[in-house]
Structure 1
Amino acid sequence: MDKGDHSTAPYRGPKLPNVPDDLVISGVLDMDCDERLWVPQSKDVWFRPLCFNVSQGYFVNILRVRKSGILSRHRHTGPVHATVLKGRWHYLEHDWWAEEGGYAFEPPGDIHTLEVPDGVTEMVTLFHVTGAYIYVDVDGVSLGIEDVFSKLQAARNHYDEVGLGASFADQFVR
């Protein structure tokens, strides 16, 4: 048995069964990347997928908004983590602001209306969303739903339309 110092040696045992490969994407903060990577969500709103975890029901993406005003009113079925990369935004129902360089945690069940204020020409936020967004009206009546599966399908459709192929989205699936 070798008794030398192995603190800087990589693990040399067998790979554990059923462990998926790591997902590593370079240049995710390059906002001047190929525009085809941005999936349109609505007018002046796009997302760039980083991970679609279909077995655990979450997705990670970068949301880019190039307009001010109300983006959506929604309820979360699971926790949401947000890191603001550029610009600022807030929820009409709360007094806090999510500002560049800041982090926000949104608990499951929270209902809020996202607004990008006047004067913000571009808002970019990294979101980690577990569960679904349930879009609601002012009284909380459900209008639609968005989850990892609908986001993945939107990405597949977009990448197919822009010539990257629907399977381009599959690299983000875990």
Structure 2
Amino acid sequence: MTLKTDIRSRSKGDNLRIAYRHPQPAGMAPDFLVPGALNLDCDEKLWVPQADGVSFRPLNFNLSGGGFVNLLRVRRSGVISRHRHGGAVHAFTLRGQWHYLEHSWMATTGSYAFEPPGETHTLVVPEGVDEMITLFHVTGNYIYVDPDGQALGYEDVYTKLDAARAHYTEIGLGASFVDSMIR
């Protein structure tokens, strides 16, 4: 008997269409939805400026887990940053292309990349790419480094949250605009 058969044999009639009747685990953070998260041409105000030609759209700030999920948008070619990962990163390229100087692959629209904790690499958007947008699910932090690995700065869930709050305050949406994204 398969699990699927076992579950069906224990369900009577329309029981499959009845919502779960019990409370969720104590202390569990509630789920949430970001409507239109993959609308890449959304309202410009949702994009938080990060550097010349670089911005991000936050989707989730995981304060208890030390990570974040955002869309990174780059509207210029060239080296964007060199950084070391404190945790794993999952990346889904939604528009354009990018690569790391340290690897031979090119992330193109529809690509998925896994970046292991501890890896250091240099993000580049190639010439001729007008816009690159990638969804990054980041655990841990980034440490920005020079070519020899000397630390120059860092970025983590708290610096991203601070930048988003400052941006949304400046444009009139208010710092609390991001509160629904915090878990």
The alignment's TM-score, normalised by the length of structure 2, stands at 0.91
Q: Which residue pairs with 2:97 in the alignment?
A: 88
Secondary structure at 2:17's aligned position in 1?
A: coil
Q: Which residue pairs with 2:40 in the alignment?
A: 31
Offset of residue 33 of structure 1: 1.5
Q: Report how many aligned residue pairs link the two structures.
A: 172
Secondary structure at 1:93's aligned position in 2?
A: coil
Q: Which residue pairs with 1:77 in the alignment?
A: 86
Q: In the alignment, is residue 108 of structure 1 matched against residue 117 of structure 2?
A: yes
Offset of residue 51 of structure 1: 0.2
Instruction: Name structure 2 gaps, 5 residues minimum.
Output: 1-10
Offset of residue 60 of structure 1: 0.1
- Displacement over 2 Å in runs of 4+: none
Secondary structure at 2:16's aligned position in 1?
A: coil
The amino acid of 1:15's aligned partner reads: Q
State the identity %.
60
Q: Which residue pairs with 1:130 in the alignment?
A: 139
Q: Deviations over 1:61-113 (max 9, x none)?
A: 00000000000000001000000000000000010111100000000010000
The alignment's TM-score, normalised by the length of structure 1, stands at 0.96
Instruction: Name structure 1 gaps, 5 residues minimum.
Output: none
The amino acid of 1:19's aligned partner reads: M
CA RMSD of aligned residues (A): 1.0
Secondary structure at 1:7's aligned position in 2?
A: helix
Larger helix proportion, structure 1 or 2? 2
Q: Which has the larger radius of gyration?
A: 2
